[in-house]
Structure 1
Amino acid sequence: MSNPSIPLNEASDEIKLAVDLIYLLESHAIEPQLALAAIEIVKRDLEHRLADDASITTAREDHQSSNVNPL
């Protein structure tokens, strides 16, 4: 990493979350391979949620645009 160190309280939310997750894994002595396998499962789950949310949003927008009455 070439970024200079910044205080954690000034870091982006994803950095703060990553630090918390690393701490959680290390404090519970989770093996790296197990952690990576679990992270892949979590990643797939979150990607499915995002896809579902996008589908719901698109369906709502389609429904709303079909209910617009032209003047």
Structure 2
Amino acid sequence: MSDDKQPSELDRAPDEVKLAVDLIYLLESHQIEPSVALAALEIVKTDLQAKLA
């Protein structure tokens, strides 16, 4: 008997969607307040934009 698993929608999603889902899970599983998460994401965004420049 073969294992014919169909890829889920998430498996077929673009990498940025997969990463977003992982980040949301991480933040929620650690019960991070949304305001703290948004502030941290702004820091991450600024850092990544500097790396692209």
Give the TM-score normalised by structure 2.
Answer: 0.84
What's the Cα RMSD here? Answer: 1.0
> In the alignment, which residue of structure 2 is the partner of 1:8?
10
Give the residue type in structure 2 aligned to 1:19. Answer: V
Bigger Cα Rg: 1
Aligned length: 46
Distance in 2 (alpha carbons) for counterparts of 1:49 and 1:11 = 25
Higher relative contact order (CA 8 A, sep 6+): 2
Give the TM-score normalised by structure 1.
Answer: 0.63
- Where does the alignment leave 5 or more consecutive residues of structure 2 unmatched? 1-7
- Where does the alignment leave 5 or more consecutive residues of structure 1 unmatched? 1-5, 52-71
Percent of pairs identical after alignment? 70
Moved over 3 A (4+): none
Distance in 2 (alpha carbons) for counterparts of 1:24 and 1:34 = 13
